[in-house]
Amino acid sequence: MSRIEILQVGPYPAWDEERLNATFTMHRYFEASDKVAFLAQHGSNIRAIATRGELGANRVMIEALPKLEVICVYGVGFDAVDLAAARERGIRVTNTPDVLTKDVADLGVAMMLAQARGMIGGEGWVRSGDWARKGLYPLQSRVHCKRAGILGLGRIGFEVAKRLSGFDMEIAYSDVGPKDYAKDWTFVADPVALAGRSDFLFVTLAASADTRHIVGSKVIEALGPEGMLINISRSSNIDEKALLDALENRTLGSAALDVFEGEPNLDPRFLALDNVLLQPHMASGTVETRKAMGALVFDNLSAHFDGRPLPTPVL
């Protein structure tokens, strides 16, 4: 029997590539210099797309694959998949929820600590010899007992809040409504009001057209010159131009970001700033979690082609 053909949108770790290549014929889209010609050449036989959270699958790609049945996302966020295009053709979509939740929360909290306590600068202080030359490192800001706002109390937001409660922080959150699993935390419906009562504002919302730029100039202004914005969701949740303006003008104290518009080619204005911590979209990037994500992509593909229920469907 001929092997099932899959469009692979981006690279995976070697262990995932080995497993996928052993079972399926993988067409490596990311290596093709002429994407249109590549789709024209292989598109008619492709029955699945294996993609990553930030890469997704757009309408042009979906429409170039007449036999497409399923799109499997390596990542919890499926905002980069054109769901309308998939729905029109009855194409199934899967993601990798739960397995990455705690790693993403861990990195968000680590980013807050690293930025508030000046750990990157501290490292430079030691390595450059400034410690011996200039003496004590400039004093930084305390984290414990401060006020945290969580914008989006889903699985990741909940894990962030749980961790912050260990720092005796005063925790509030915004979501579509109060959550019964968040009794110890204060619900604040309006993101601007949430920012106004936060020293640290975590953005942990699943991105969609509805949440685009939910963190705009009003939220940023309310967070203020002493506040810190931490984004471990998607760049589209933040008005990046407003954020850059506020960081440059110091109307926002600081930011710690794992995601960027146009990543990995971020706006060069970020690179000139000393009040932002920049991370390369690595919140789910531990060996343990990435292995679990890869296994889930494979399990969803296998289940689909074996006619079994999908383990983690979103559509």
Q: Which residues are marked as active site?
A: 234, 263, 281
Burial profile 89-114: b = 16 or more Cβ within 10 angstroms, e = fewer: eebbbbbbbebbbbbbbbbbbbbbeb
CB of 249 to ligand 8YV, least distance (A): 30
CA neighbor of 84 nearest in space, from 176, 209, 233: 209
Among 6, 24, 43, 53, binds ligand 8YV (CB under 6 A): 53
Q: Give least dist CB 143 to ligand 8YV, A.
A: 25
Torsion of Cα atoms, 238 then 234 then 167 then 173, to 10°: 60
Q: What is the footprint of ligand 8YV within residues 66-125 (CB under 6 A)?
A: 74-77, 100
* 7 touches 61 (CB < 8 A): yes
Please, which residue, 76 or 182, has the CB nearer to ligand 8YV?
76
Q: Which residue reads 């926002």 in tokens?
A: 252
Q: Kindly report the backbone phi and psi dihedral angles of residue 257, in degrees, each rounded to the nearest multiple of 5, phi listed first.
A: -130, 135
Q: Is 76 or 246 the residue whose CB approaches ligand 8YV more closely?
A: 76
Q: Which of 146/281 has CB closer to ligand 8YV?
A: 281
User: What minimum distance in Å lies between the beta carbon of 91 and ligand 8YV?
Assistant: 19
Nearer residue to ligand 8YV within complex by CB, 163 or 281: 281
Note whether 54 binds ligand 8YV by CB under 6 A: yes
Whole-angstrom distance, CA of residue 48 vs CA of residue 93: 10
φ, ψ of residue 305 in degrees (nearest 5): -80, -15
Reported as half-sphere exposure (CB side, CA atoms, 13 A), residue 91 has a value of 27
Q: How far is the CB of 282 from ligand 8YV (least distance, A)?
A: 7
Rank residues 52 and 304 by Cβ distance to ligand 8YV and give the closer one.
52
Q: 70 vs 222, which CB is nearer to ligand 8YV?
A: 70
Query: What angle, rounded to 10 degrees, do the helices at 155-165 and 101-116 form?
Result: 50
Of all residues in the shown chain, the one whose CB is closest to ligand 8YV is 75
Residues touching ligand 8YV, count (CB under 6 A): 10
Among 25-33, 48-56, 169-177, 186-194, the segment contacting ligand 8YV (CB under 6 A): 48-56
> CB burial class (10 A; 0-12, 13-18, 19+) of residue 233?
buried
Give start and end residues of each alpha helix (H) in the chain: 14-23, 35-42, 59-63, 83-88, 101-116, 119-127, 130-134, 155-165, 191-196, 217-223, 240-249, 287-306
Q: How far is the CB of 38 from ligand 8YV (least distance, A)?
A: 21
| Least spacing, CB of residue 144 vs ligand 8YV, in Å | 29
Window 249-308: residues binding ligand 8YV (CB under 6 A): 281, 284
Site residues for ligand 8YV per CB under 6 A: 52-54, 74-77, 100, 281, 284
